[in-house]
Copies of this chain bind each other. A is one copy, B any other.
Amino acid sequence: MEGIPQHPKHTAELLQEILQRTQALPNDGAVANYIPALAEVDPEYLGIAVAELDGKVHIAGDAQMPFSIQSISKIFGLTLAMERVGDQLWNRVRMEPSGHAFNSIVQLEWEHGIPRNPFINAGAIVVADTLVSHYSASRTALTQFIRNLAQNPLIFVDEVVWESEREHGARNAALAYLMKSFNNIEANVDDVLDHYFYQCSISMSCVDLARSLSFLANRGVQPGTGEVICDPRSTRRINAMMSTSGMYDQSGEFAFTVGLPAKSGVGGGLVAVVPDYGVICAWSPKLNSFGNSYRGMFMIRQVAEELGLSVYS
């Protein structure tokens, strides 16, 4: 990328145009149905927001409607843990793409309870364990961190989703107990899972997400407030892990076709970081077989192609 992207029309108009192109496509895939609270979301929601580093936010569609951020919360948890725990975190979780589904337990057994990266469930549970162990009230700490990043005190946890996650959390409990058996969980497993399910249940809009993650495009400094969230080395590292592992077992394809650090959630949200430019967030509830938003990927790809945003030049 050479400096600020050049484009012939205003970004807001471009987003509107892309939204219309997207609405013209068949709305393929399926809404996540492992918990009832997610399964009931209207599959027709469609929104996109772009937060630029100068503070401008462009939107189209349902960009201000809060949705369940699910795995996108892994970025917030990771950022907080990296600052709080430092490099010793990397003794307990690696930074390699997994080559397996996000909730696979196979690899975790082979690799003796050390998760491949912080964006698969097992890795995020280890991160949750560090937060539970290092904060007296880890859930509150995380909520405040996110509200501050988004400059939105109204961000909330959806209690129905949280309860539902707990009820259907057997697979994640299996991952946590397997890691415990390898001594890679320090706190009480129930407490760790409770934190993990809590952070998955946070509701945010495309605008909230694009704004709150802008420090990743700005070498650690939050554009609106000038606050230093982390050092530039940390943002490079987080962006690198999003690039190799942020889109589950479709990360390679996303790098190949789009070329931006990104993270998806099964609520249908998808954020992409454009270093030195800003953050894009798209939302559409229906997922493909990898667990990524079908129309969300389409929209982000369109923006990246139109604006020439790939980090791979």
Residues of A within 8 A of B (CB): 1-3, 94-100, 104-107, 109-110, 116-117, 170-171, 173-178, 180-181, 189, 217, 219, 232, 235-237, 239-241, 243-245, 249-253, 255-257, 259, 261, 275-276, 310-313
B276 touches A255 (CB 8 A): no
B residues near A171, Cβ cutoff 8 Å: 177-178, 181
Most chain B C-beta atoms within 10 Å of own C-beta, residue among A3, A105, A171, A255: A255
Name the residue of chain B whose CB is nearest to the CB of A258: B240
Instruction: Specify the main secondary structure of chain A where it touches its partner.
Output: helix
Given contacts A174-B178, A181-B174, A312-B261, contact A244 B240 (CB under 8 A): no
Name the residue of chain B whose CB is nearest to the CB of A253: B95
B residues near A98, Cβ cutoff 8 Å: 99
Q: Which of B96, B240, B250 contacts A249 (CB 8 A)?
A: B96
Q: Which of B94, B107, B252, B261 contacts A245 (CB 8 A)?
A: B252
Given contacts A100-B99, A244-B252, contact A232 B110 (CB under 8 A): no
B residues near A253, Cβ cutoff 8 Å: 94-96
B residues near A175, Cβ cutoff 8 Å: 174
Name the residue of chain B whose CB is nearest to the CB of A232: B313
A177 touches B174 (CB 8 A): yes
Q: Which of B99, B104, B217, B235 contacts A97 (CB 8 A)?
A: B99
5 residue pairs of the A-B complex, CB under 8 angstroms, read A96-B253, A104-B109, A105-B178, A106-B109, A170-B180
B residues near A244, Cβ cutoff 8 Å: 97, 243-244, 251-252, 255
Other contacts beyond A173-B177, A174-B175, A240-B252: 6, CB < 8 A: A95-B253, A95-B255, A96-B249, A96-B252, A174-B178, A236-B312
